[in-house]
Structure 1
Amino acid sequence: MAVEAGSGELVKVVALLGAAVVMVPLFRRLGLGSVLGYLSAGLLVGPFGLGWFSDPQAILHVAELGVVMFLFVIGLEMRPAHLWSLRRQIFGLGTLQIGLCTVVLAAVAWLCGLRMPAAFIGAAGFVLTSTAVVMQLLGERGDIALPRGQRIVSILLFEDLLIVPLLALVAFMSPLPAEAGEGSRWMAVLVGIGALAGLVVAGVWLLNPLFRLLARVQAREVMTAAALLVVLGAAALMEVGGLSAAMGAFLAGVLLSGSTFRHQLEADIEPFRGLLLGLFFLGVGMALDLSVVAANWPLILSGLLAMMAAKAACIYVVARITRTGHRDALDRAVLMAQGGEFAFVLFSAAQAAGVIDGTANANLTAIVVLSMALTPLAVLAVRGLAGREAGPSMDGIEEVDGQAGSVLIVGFGRFGQVMSQALLARDVDVTIIDTDIEMIRSAGEFGFKVYYGDGTRVDVMRASGAATARVIAVCVDDRRAASRIARLCRDEFPQARVLVRAFDREHALELAQLDVHFQVRETFESAVRFGQAALEALDMEPELAARISDAMRRLDAERFALELAASDVNAGKPLVIGNTPPATPTPFTPPRRASKRLDAGEGGESGGAGAPPAA
């Protein structure tokens, strides 16, 4: 019987993972994001879908560790000085946004028929934005480190702190008699302060010596266990003190942000973070009670739309008041327009304290879960509309049409600007196109004539004069776009010599297989020249340093040719790689150490496959 029960649980785990493996890639392929894929998978296998799982709260309880680990990784990226520089955004912007949203949402909930205490609890829970959803979407977009992402992270941190006074407020609002021994709430405050102080002391004086000691043992699994110990220990300490576990993990990450073991810790935590965060979204999907939604759908639907719209409007107003641009304000409003995971904790505590009843808890929970599910769709819809309607003004920007320059430059970023100078200095007839409107406008202020045009479209390339151009220089800072443009040029405009900026070694091989006439890795030549300057700084003769650099170029070109020949593409064709043809022998042989460094150089940087020996 025990074996049968064990195999049954194993089948459930396999079903859970299988649902995630199928649904998440499908939703990402459709452009809907991984969050909605996880939520849909959870709804599919949960108690209100196929019924394979009957207790989503048990999964949520474990999966909340994913949010905890996520905030620990974010904390590792924020040094205390950087966090201090965000203090106005955390407390100023956070207070303004949360205060306005709470008042407006409480009014909306009251108008939807809830009594004022229940309306306030519903509003306070909905104000607590989902850290998991927002951070996942920001991470997928690569916006966490950007200023707009940092402002959102600051508000999320303040909301995590807010759960503590809200739970205390629920206790004050409770009509039930206080339990024996609960009289001194000051003691709870002192315990919380003590837990916070203990974590700071451990982070400053104990963690780094601990990791140095474990590093000497040179046991990778012990370092991983220690990383998990730090995250879970910090979270447990904060929970004992009545504070947020996620906030404890974040603070532990901040305290370790200056540690020499920061990158190792991040690498150890990352697999657990991703798995548990996905499990959290699966649990949220399972928690959506379809029977409650079906029984109260008019109230839930109206409440969902009204609360999301009201919260988004408040966030937008606050963002504009604090001098945020329209597009960033709109993006923040839609991204944070949902309730979050802490709302479940608040609603459960309020029901236990008698502030709200079970029906209100079920309805409010359904509204929060649906808002989390709708957020990825709302973000996609609004970003699509903003891209078409609310994008940068095209005033003063000319779209390319009927050009006929002898050289066509596609992309006028840093790389394109530098390479164009030699051509413009010799009065070469050049046509330049780009899709960055602000850059085009800025270039015009410096006397450059840049047209608006998407180089991946054949009609735009024809309007740019690609059909008559002698040279097409692809300088875009986008690996996929560069490959698409190169392929288009070789197929549609064979008369032109195609020169392409390569992102890394792997991309350079891809371009060589497309038979472009010339490609150069964007950092290779500058890195070689930088190494030459380092040798000269060590008092090496400039001529010898230059010879070593030339040898590096030739060795790299020979190695590149071997890699290309091994792929059985373009074998036997003349090839130009970077600045040096590979066939020229050199009488100078660099030291063996230099050769080894070359082998480990750019291939490691690009993350591509290892390179064969240069010799």
Structure 2
Amino acid sequence: MAIESAADGALAPVMSFALVGALGVGAQWAAWRLRMPAIVLMLLAGLLIGPVLGVFDPSRDIGPLMAPMISIAVAIILFEGGLTLNLHSLRGAAEGVKRLIVLGAPLGWLLSTLALHYVAGLGWASSAVFGGIMIVTGPTVIAPLLRQARLNRRPAQLLQWEAIVNDPIGALAAVLAFQVVLVLNTAETMGDAAWDMARGIVVAAVMGVAAGAIISESFRRAWVPEYMKVPVLFAALLGVFALSDTVLHESGLLAVTVMGIWIANADLPSYTEMRRFKEHATILLVSGVFILLAANMDFEKLAMLNWRALAFVIVVILVVRPLTVMISLVGTKLPMRERLLVGLTGPRGVVLVAVAGLFAERLVAMGVADAALLGPLAFALVAATVVLNGFSLRPFAAALGLAGKGIPGVIIVGGSRFAAAFGEALQKREVPVLIADPNRGRLRSAREVGLPVFFGDILSEAAEHGVEVTSYGRVLAVSDNDAYNTLVATDLGPEFGRDNVFQLKRTKQDSPRHALPATLGGRAIAGGQTYLDLTSKMNAGWRVRATNLTEEYTFENWRAANPDAILLAEHDEGGDLRLIVADEDPRKQKDVTLLSLSPENDTLDAAKADNEGTE
């Protein structure tokens, strides 16, 4: 069957879906390669194929399928947002995070609504709905910005947790505001309006809680096999959304958000796997929805943005967001420079555009004419905040003294003399290092040389809140427990990237009976040495040393002088650090510093060495 459409200039639905998927995922991949916010490239891609070139028109090429597709996608996105709201984590969060949620969310909703009404010129109905979703500061945008900016732990934690927790809260606020507008426009009297509103909230909440409880209990009691948990979750999600909407129009979004929150707090053993799969699905849906909405934008809608829209964006960035943060954090012990940084950092993301686009269509259909401005305003706000924060966060934080080193650090899991020696050598190169171990005694060597340490399990909830993960880009598991090293590398692999998790070679790895598949563990480092091998060498007087390679003193010269040395890492003049896996050589042969574990009797050219050794 031919792919092309019979209509002149129109794409067939299959080709349309393929184009949206390719552009969405391609934009995210290109953004990762270019170290740019993905939402900027998705916005440009959508506008380019849509209003600029006219290649793709969702209303023409997809037609009646577009509205239900966006509705289902937004429902899944909001469910995933609810799935991130773990109340146990919130109770352990810092006081500043609680303030930004408990006080900041309603205050931000109020101030955003006032700005929309008095500055952008929207009516109260559109302002209340859009003001609710403006609470969300873009969890999908904040994380890459924090990794790029390398902020200090406390402001990074404030921004990260505010974005995660306020994601479902903002969605709930928008849904509730829309329910109020819907009821007020359809009910005959105020009594009817109040009754319909209460009924809508109760029905959605009950259905969400009931579905969440049934799913949680069936998973806990093993009534659903492991391989079917994610499909069952998806089917239940769609069923609750559709059934709730059937019982009471537009209550489905609230129901699925409540369902996600319930499951997030059910302490399910398979919660992490479900959440990761949901995150992957959300990335695809977020990309698709954003491309669709951007491509569906036309120049007539964009022309609706006047000076009031510009004033609104400026007021949100310079007044609403800072004022919300400053008032929320009154009475806390946070320094003013940290409050200022958090107050001027509020990038909005795809969730804002997706939910705003969905509610804009609903409001317009109800007769709220100025709701047509919500889509263009959402795009304008997202573009302005992402570009501004994307390019200014790092220098602004550095000017305030709140930015860490630009080099992604290394978390070394497992305290030992080797870990302390390697960590000290990295720290002397201004690479952030953290030594983590649940045994306090094994951290002694690290503390003696002045290295930061974390006493506890790196996989624990305490580490999640107490370790500034955004400052680190690599994990090196070097404990004396091979199974624990494998667990750490496997568990942290999805977060740091499989290429950025390393571990020591397992003692019996070469035995077919004990060898593990490639899906488990990290890459072997330290020349394929085991923990016992390294301990033996450290006891024999081996040291971690740093040597500069130049045009005169090449890698071949170094290897000839140090035939037994074990390569650990290379660090170039630009600050790039590369941990060298077993049987690899450095990529650069000059203008690079080699870190190696060398025996004391090896010849080391003193003129070429930074360090004679560290323990």
Scaled by the length of structure 1, the TM-score of the pair is: 0.58
Supply the AA of the counterpart residue of 1:18.
A
What is the Cα deviation at residue 421 of structure 1?
10
What is the Cα deviation at residue 555 of structure 1?
3.8
**Cα distance in 1 for residues equivalent to 2:299 and 2:410:** 53
Unaligned runs of 5+ in 1: 398-409, 452-476, 483-502, 505-520, 532-551, 564-573, 585-607, 610-615
Supply the AA of the counterpart residue of 1:255.
W
Count residues in correspondence: 458
Correspondence list, 1:477-516, <5 A: 503=475
Find the counterpart in structure 2 of residue 53 from structure 1.
57
**Cα distance in 1 for residues equivalent to 2:470 and 2:113:** 46
For each residue in 1:472-514, what CA deviation from the matched residue of structure 2 results, as whole angstroms up to 9, or x when unmatched? xxxxx999988xxxxxxxxxxxxxxxxxxxx56xxxxxxxxxx
**Cα distance in 2 for residues equivalent to 1:87 and 1:320:** 12
Supply the AA of the counterpart residue of 1:578.
T
What is the Cα deviation at residue 258 of structure 1?
2.1
Supply the AA of the counterpart residue of 1:46.
G
What is the Cα deviation at residue 264 of structure 1?
4.8
**Cα distance in 2 for residues equivalent to 1:25 and 1:421:** 34
**Cα distance in 2 for residues equivalent to 1:429 and 1:66:** 49
Find the counterpart in structure 1 of residue 168 from structure 2.
157
Supply the AA of the counterpart residue of 2:178.
L
For each residue in 1:223-252, what CA deviation from the matched residue of structure 2 results, as whole angstroms up to 9, or x when unmatched? 443121122223335544466644433432
Does the C-alpha gap of structure 1 residues 315 and 10 become closer, same or farther in structure 2, counting only changes over 3 Å?
same
What is the Cα deviation at residue 415 of structure 1?
6.9
Find the counterpart in structure 2 of residue 225 from structure 1.
231
Find the counterpart in structure 2 of residue 129 from structure 1.
134
Q: Within the alignment, does 1:255 sit opposite 2:259 as a pair?
A: no
Contact 1:69 1:273 in 2 (8 A): yes
Scaled by the length of structure 2, the TM-score of the pair is: 0.58
**Cα distance in 1 for residues equivalent to 2:93 and 2:170:** 15
The correspondence for 1:381, drawn from 391, 400, 406, is 391
**Cα distance in 2 for residues equivalent to 1:169 and 1:348:** 16
What is the Cα deviation at residue 369 of structure 1?
1.6
For residue 334 of structure 1, give the secondary structure of its aligned residue in structure 2. coil
For residue 12 of structure 1, give the secondary structure of its aligned residue in structure 2. helix
Find the counterpart in structure 1 of residue 555 from structure 2.
none
Find the counterpart in structure 1 of residue 611 from structure 2.
none
Does the C-alpha gap of structure 1 residues 343 and 79 become closer, same or farther in structure 2, counting only changes over 3 Å?
closer
**Cα distance in 1 for residues equivalent to 2:244 and 2:192:** 22
The correspondence for 2:400, drawn from 369, 374, 390, is 390
Supply the AA of the counterpart residue of 1:10.
V
**Cα distance in 1 for residues equivalent to 2:29 and 2:142:** 18
Find the counterpart in structure 2 of residue 15 from structure 1.
19
Supply the AA of the counterpart residue of 1:14.
A
Supply the AA of the counterpart residue of 1:129.
M
Find the counterpart in structure 2 of residue 522 from structure 1.
478
Does the C-alpha gap of structure 1 residues 84 and 387 become closer, same or farther in structure 2, counting only changes over 3 Å?
closer
Find the counterpart in structure 2 of residue 512 from structure 1.
none
What is the Cα deviation at residue 128 of structure 1?
1.7
What is the Cα deviation at residue 385 of structure 1?
1.9
Point out the more displaced range, 270-279 or 58-67: 58-67
Supply the AA of the counterpart residue of 1:301.
L
What is the Cα deviation at residue 389 of structure 1?
0.9
Contact 1:557 1:580 in 2 (8 A): no
Contact 1:36 1:373 in 2 (8 A): yes
Find the counterpart in structure 2 of residue 368 from structure 1.
378
**Cα distance in 2 for residues equivalent to 1:233 and 1:417:** 50
Does the C-alpha gap of structure 1 residues 268 and 127 become closer, same or farther in structure 2, counting only changes over 3 Å?
closer
Correspondence list, 1:379-528, <5 A: 379-392=389-402, 419=417, 432=428, 434=430, 503=475, 522-523=478-479, 525-527=480-482
**Cα distance in 1 for residues equivalent to 2:100 and 2:426:** 48
Contact 2:49 2:295 in 1 (8 A): yes
Find the counterpart in structure 1 of residue 123 from structure 2.
118
For residue 434 of structure 1, give the secondary structure of its aligned residue in structure 2. coil
For each residue in 1:195-226, what CA deviation from the matched residue of structure 2 results, as whole angstroms up to 9, or x when unmatched? 4224323433465337866645x8x4x54431
Contact 2:133 2:170 in 1 (8 A): yes
Does the C-alpha gap of structure 1 residues 362 and 390 become closer, same or farther in structure 2, counting only changes over 3 Å?
same
What is the Cα deviation at residue 66 of structure 1?
3.9
Contact 1:20 1:38 in 2 (8 A): yes
Contact 1:19 1:41 in 2 (8 A): yes
Find the counterpart in structure 1 of residue 356 from structure 2.
343
Contact 1:188 1:242 in 2 (8 A): no
Find the counterpart in structure 2 of residue 495 from structure 1.
none
For each residue in 1:41-91, what CA deviation from the matched residue of structure 2 results, as whole angstroms up to 9, or x when unmatched? 222222454241242895464245444334444544555544677899999
**Cα distance in 2 for residues equivalent to 1:106 and 1:260:** 41
The correspondence for 1:577, drawn from 525, 529, 534, is 529
For each residue in 1:7-35, what CA deviation from the matched residue of structure 2 results, as whole angstroms up to 9, or x when unmatched? 82222223323333543333332222222
Supply the AA of the counterpart residue of 1:69.
I
Q: Within the alignment, does 1:199 sit opposite 2:208 as a pair?
A: yes
Greater per-residue strand proportion:
2
Does the C-alpha gap of structure 1 residues 411 and 210 become closer, same or farther in structure 2, counting only changes over 3 Å?
closer
**Cα distance in 2 for residues equivalent to 1:184 and 1:385:** 51
**Cα distance in 2 for residues equivalent to 1:421 and 1:270:** 34
Greater Rg, structure 1 or structure 2? 1
What is the Cα deviation at residue 366 of structure 1?
1.0
Contact 1:304 1:370 in 2 (8 A): yes
**Cα distance in 1 for residues equivalent to 2:296 and 2:119:** 23
What is the Cα deviation at residue 304 of structure 1?
2.9
What is the Cα deviation at residue 280 of structure 1?
1.5
What is the Cα deviation at residue 337 of structure 1?
5.5
Find the counterpart in structure 2 of residue 310 from structure 1.
319
Q: Within the alignment, does 1:24 sit opposite 2:20 as a pair?
A: no
Greater per-residue helix proportion:
1
Find the counterpart in structure 2 of residue 40 from structure 1.
44
What is the Cα deviation at residue 137 of structure 1?
1.9
What is the Cα deviation at residue 370 of structure 1?
1.7
Does the C-alpha gap of structure 1 residues 197 and 299 become closer, same or farther in structure 2, counting only changes over 3 Å?
closer
The correspondence for 1:293, drawn from 302, 323, 346, is 302
What is the Cα deviation at residue 387 of structure 1?
3.8
Q: Within the alignment, does 1:281 sit opposite 2:290 as a pair?
A: yes
What is the Cα deviation at residue 181 of structure 1?
12
**Cα distance in 1 for residues equivalent to 2:66 and 2:79:** 21
Contact 2:50 2:295 in 1 (8 A): yes
Does the C-alpha gap of structure 1 residues 109 and 558 become closer, same or farther in structure 2, counting only changes over 3 Å?
closer
Does the C-alpha gap of structure 1 residues 22 and 578 become closer, same or farther in structure 2, counting only changes over 3 Å?
same
What is the Cα deviation at residue 186 of structure 1?
0.9
For residue 285 of structure 2, give the secondary structure of its aligned residue in structure 1. helix
Contact 1:38 1:282 in 2 (8 A): yes
**Cα distance in 2 for residues equivalent to 1:345 and 1:412:** 43
Supply the AA of the counterpart residue of 1:20.
G
**Cα distance in 2 for residues equivalent to 1:558 and 1:576:** 14
Correspondence list, 1:167-246, <5 A: 167-170=178-181, 178=187, 183=192, 185-205=194-214, 207-209=216-218, 215=224, 220=227, 222-239=228-245, 240-241=247-248, 245-246=252-253
For each residue in 1:570-607, what CA deviation from the matched residue of structure 2 results, as whole angstroms up to 9, or x when unmatched? xxxx967235669x9xxxxxxxxxxxxxxxxxxxxxxx
What is the Cα deviation at residue 279 of structure 1?
0.8
**Cα distance in 2 for residues equivalent to 1:529 and 1:85:** 26
**Cα distance in 2 for residues equivalent to 1:480 and 1:86:** 20
For residue 335 of structure 1, give the secondary structure of its aligned residue in structure 2. coil
Contact 2:77 2:282 in 1 (8 A): yes
CA RMSD in angstroms comes to 5.4
**Cα distance in 2 for residues equivalent to 1:182 and 1:2:** 57
For residue 31 of structure 2, give the secondary structure of its aligned residue in structure 1. helix
